[in-house]
Amino acid sequence: MESLRGQEQIWQLMFSFVDSMALKCAIELRIADIIHSHGKPITLSQIASGIRSNSNSSISPNIPYLSRIMRFLVRKNIFTEHQEDNDEVISLYGLSDSSRWLLRDFKSSLAPMVLMQTHPLSMAVWHFLEDYVRNSSNTFEKAHGCNIWEFSSANPEFNKIFNNAMASIVPIYMGAMLSSYKDGLGCIKGTVVDVGGGTGGSISELMKYYPNIKGINFDLPHVIATAPALDGVTHISGDIFESIPSADAVLMKGVLHCFSDEKCVKVLRNCRKAITDKKNGKIIILEIVLDPTSNQIFDETRMVYDLLIPLFSGGKERTELEWKRLLNEAGFTCIKITKIPIIPAIIEAFLV
Ligand SMILES: C[S@@+](CC[C@H](N)C(=O)[O-])C[C@H]1O[C@@H](n2cnc3c(N)ncnc32)[C@H](O)[C@@H]1O
């Protein structure tokens, strides 16, 4: 039996990309949105007609295959199915706790993140995993000829997909941060700069909650060029390795894990220089704190990021000890880590 289970596990791992592809397909076909628009569980033919009208096509979807996709995703608990028996038995498909996170037009949607992670341009990088182990090669560069930031800058389609994916998790992360870390944010007076803030969603959320805060969103020129105008947010483009706009506090979400320790120390020192209020100033970092022995919620995903980040940007995820060592090296001795109910944790680094 043990040996059969071992065999089963290999089959499952071999085909686990099919889970990702089926999920991607459901998002592309907007199946969760179609079900949601009816406000109750619906039949396969209602899903099919929703797909046809979304695509403005007169061609009928492949219903037998759609039913297989639904059967597969019901088995994975992405959708629910129950049978109604009028004159004939008919299946009704509904949303589960998981598919609610796939609704495209909802504020907290993981759909753009799924589309970015499963995009062929992202998937291409994974094919260099073995090469990375053998040669420590720059895998993104091997797959696409340059690093991820240069590639995004030169490729508007990928830039949009990447920035949308980042923006999609802002409400999820900021929602958790704003409700679980009130004391840490409430005491900030003056200006906060979101370093590597993407298109500015995080600082904008922060300013809605704390209207006395002035917000700067700082990122590379090709990202700022696509950032929308946001009430009160000043967008500034530049390079975190050169200098960072002055502020009373720095926010940095998912940026340091993109870089090596050496590069992070450079960025952290620039943050230090940027903070005007040396007495009360602090850096608020939102990053994964890795604990490979833990089996709590999101730990599996944290371990996936541990493999993903080196491949995509040459950075790394860090344990508590590694964060403390890194921050110490950049001159920060007072560090506080707060776990909140999302994948990353809050790491505060105080100037004094
Ligand atoms: C993983 S994304 C995180 C985005 C955002 N903080 C969030 O949480 O959604 C990393 C961000 O760092 C920015 N970045 C990378 N290198 C940079 C540099 N040299 N100067 C400024 N920003 C940079 C990227 O453009 C990107 O927006």
Whole-number Å distance, alpha carbon 186 to ligand 1 midpoint, is 25
Domain membership of residue 161 as a residue range: 111-350
Boundary (domain end) residue, out of 102, 134, 160: 102
Beta strands 214-219 and 282-287 are unpaired
Cα(225)–Cα(236) distance, rounded to whole angstroms?
10
Number of other residues whose CB lies within 10 A of the CB of residue 108: 14
pLDDT at 278: 84
Q: For 267-308, what is each residue's pLDDT tens digit?
A: 999 999 999 988 889 999 999 999 999 999 999 999 999 999
Nearest atom in ligand 1 to the alpha carbon of residue 194 is: 6
Q: What is the mean pLDDT of the chain?
A: 96
pLDDT for 6 beyond 90: yes
CATH number of the domain encompassing residue 157: 3.40.50.150
DSSP class of residue 257 equals G
Cα(47)–Cα(61) distance, rounded to whole angstroms?
10
* Known catalytic residue at 36: no
For the chain, the residue count is: 352
Is residue 71 located within the same domain as residue 175?
no
Whole-number Å distance, alpha carbon 252 to ligand 1 midpoint, is 9
pLDDT at 159: 97
- Give SS3 for 192: strand
pTM of the model: 0.95
Q: For 13-58, what is each residue's pLDDT tens digit?
A: 999 999 999 999 999 999 999 999 999 999 999 999 999 998 888 8
Is residue 242 located within the same domain as residue 318?
yes
Over residues 58-68, the mean pLDDT reads 94
* Whether the CB of 220 sits within 6 Å of ligand 1: yes
pLDDT for 263 beyond 90: yes
Is residue 86 located within the same domain as residue 130?
no
* Whether the CB of 66 sits within 6 Å of ligand 1: no
Q: For 165-178, what is each residue's pLDDT tens digit?
A: 999 999 999 999 99
**R_g (Cα) of the chain, nearest Å:** 23
C-alpha separations of 171 from 56, 206, 315 in Å: 31, 10, 25
Helix (H) or strand (E) holding 306: helix 299-313
